Structure 1
Amino acid sequence: MGWLEMALLFAGGILAGCINVLAGGAGFMTFPLLVATGMSEIEANASNFVALLPANIASLYGYRHELRRPNLHLRPRLLLAVIGGACGSFALLWLGEASFKTAIPWLLTFSTVAFALAPTIKRWLEQRHNFDGRRWIWLSFILEFIVYAYGGYFGLGMGVVLLALYAMFGHDDIHEANSIRNATITLITLIAIALFAHAGIIRWLPSLVMMMGAFIGGYVMVKVSRSVPQLWVRYGILAWSVTLTAISFWRYG
């Protein structure tokens, strides 16, 4: 890996760290950058967990005060994250590279559509059916478990889908939802790294270069995250995710 590639990964890591603190979705950027350095898709996916770990930890620290609120149902969510994340990571190792390549366009489609439609679905349920998500916490746990398993398998878009679910089921405060997201994703990331490292599919040097950038970006953005309009970040992530999904159908479809 040359100096130009290292600089690109480092810069991409900084931007990814900023995005991860604000609204999630950083994997939409880091995954194609890792593939561009010559990794296979399954190596890039595994290495992506390492690259974004500091950003997840920085985000977790930034929202540590929100985690103390009593209405987060944090313990059952962490347990579901452990089980779901492990199942997803084991599925990736068991199914292998060919199945993963075939699944990439559809996984990206799922995460992009869910991210785009979640606020609209939430408003429709509230206005037409007087939906109060806090009364349906069991349904939230079922849907979250599916996303946790998806996250252990692929990871891209997991954060934005979780934010949408948390908001839909009663956590309207973006910072409160972010605190839950950061706790569950950090746990899933640690489990995935342990399993993928044991399987030998992580490329450590590119991962660590991007990791350093992500740590810096996440640390800086924690300081200013509450002053950045969430809508701007949301539209930017959505535009990039649509582009990446289209490219993935062209390349793998």
Structure 2
Amino acid sequence: MEWWEIAIIAVAGLWAGLINTVVGSGTLVTFPVLVALGYPPVTATTSNAIGLITGTITGAIGYRKELEGQGGRLVRYGIASLLGAIVGAALLLSLPPDAFETIVPVLVGLAVVLVAVQPLLSRRLKQRETPKDRSSSPVVYLLIFLVGIYGGYFTAAQGIMLVGIMGLLLADSLQRLNAFKNALSAIVNLVAGIIYAFVAPVSWPVVAILAVSSIVGGFLGAKVGRRLPPTVLRGVIIVIGVSAVVYLLVM
């Protein structure tokens, strides 16, 4: 591997770690970089997933304050994400590489719409029914499980999806939802990465570069994301989400 390839991958990993923590979809930075450098799509997907594990973990640690007192919920949601990641990783190893090609942009686009209209929908729901705690609703667990499947198969934009569905169903602040998103994304990446490491083609030099650089990106992302006002954070999510949809449609 040439020095300039190492530099490109390192910069991509740092940026992906930052974007994953603030919004999600950092894979849309590193995946095309790896493919452009000549790595096969499956190898790029698996190496990317394993390499960005450290970034998602540091991002989750950076948001630990927003998760104080939420340990029980995090464990329950985490189990749903874990099971979904196992299914998603199995699908990646058994289905054709382009199996999700058509549906992925639709899913990401729907998540972006949910993030955009979530304040309006939440107000209308409060007006039409008595406020109640939906944090343990079976629908929440089902949707987190489904996003886990998607994340285990192709990690790009799973964070946007998580914020979209949780924002619609839960009454938490956007920053807390972002904290949950980071923790659940870390679980999905870790579980899928462990499976990939044993049964899928992986470029370990790429993993090492991404692992180190995404740690820095994760910490930077937590510092930036936690300081963004809800409106600005929502706007950033929408802009990057729309960019992700456009990229997925033309890739």
Shorter chain as denominator, the TM-score bin is: 0.7 to 0.9
| Structure 2 CA distance for aligned equivalents of residues 130 and 9 of structure 1 | 50
Assess, with a 3 A threshold, how the Cα gap between structure 1 residues 89 and 102 changes in structure 2: closer, same or farther. Answer: closer
**Aligned equivalent of 1:75:** 75
The worse-fitting range, judged by mean Cα deviation, of 139-148 and 123-132 is 123-132
Aligned match of 2:133? 134
2:98 counterpart SS class: helix
Q: Deviation digits for residues 191-228 of structure 1, max 9, x if unmatched?
A: 11111111131111122212222111222232333234
User: Is 1:238 aligned to 2:241, yes or no?
Assistant: yes
TM-score, with normalisation over the residues of structure 2?
0.87
Provide the secondary structure at the position in 2 that maps to 1:156. coil
Counterpart of 2:29? 29
> Is the 2:118–2:167 Cα contact (8 Å) retained in structure 1?
no
Q: Whole-Å Cα distance in 1 between the matches of residues 238 and 210 of structure 2?
A: 24
Residue 101 of structure 1 is aligned with which of 85, 98, 109?
Answer: 98
Letter in 2 for 1:109: V
Is there any run of 5+ residues in structure 1 with no aligned partner, and where?
Answer: 249-253
1:3-14 superposed matches below 5 A:
3-14=3-14
> Which residue is equivalent to 1:53?
53
CA contact (8 A) 1:109 1:245 kept: no
Summarize the alignment of residues 13-24 of structure 1 with structure 2, pairs less than 5 Å apart.
13-24=13-24
**Distance across 1 between alignment mates of 2:106 and 2:31:** 15
Paired residue secondary structure (2:105): helix
Q: Is the 8 Å Cα contact of residues 115 and 238 (structure 2) preserved in structure 1?
A: no
Q: Cα offset for 1:122?
A: 5.9
Task: Please state how far the C-alpha of 1:7 moved relative to its aligned partner.
Answer: 1.3
Whole-Å Cα distance in 2 between the matches of residues 211 and 195 of structure 1? 17
SS in structure 1 of the partner of residue 24 of structure 2: coil
Deviation at 1:184, TM superposition (A): 1.7
Structure 1 residue 149 corresponds to structure 2 residue 154: no
Which stretch shows the higher mean deviation, 159-168 or 181-190? 181-190
CA RMSD of aligned residues (A): 2.3
Aligned AA (2:36): A
What is the SS of the residue equivalent to 2:39? coil
Provide the secondary structure at the position in 2 that maps to 1:151: helix
SS at match of 2:155: coil
Q: Distance in 2 between matches of 1:196 and 1:9?
A: 20
Change (3 A) 1:183 1:117: closer
What TM-score comes out, normalization by structure 1 length?
A: 0.86
Q: Indicate conservation of the 8 Å contact 1:67/1:180, yes or no.
A: yes
Unaligned residue ranges in structure 2 (runs of 5+): none
Report SS of the residue matched to 2:64: coil
Give 1:241 deviation, angstroms: 0.8
Question: What pairs with 1:204-243 in structure 2 (closer than 5 Å)?
Answer: 204-228=204-228, 229-243=232-246
Counterpart amino acid of residue 17 in structure 2: G
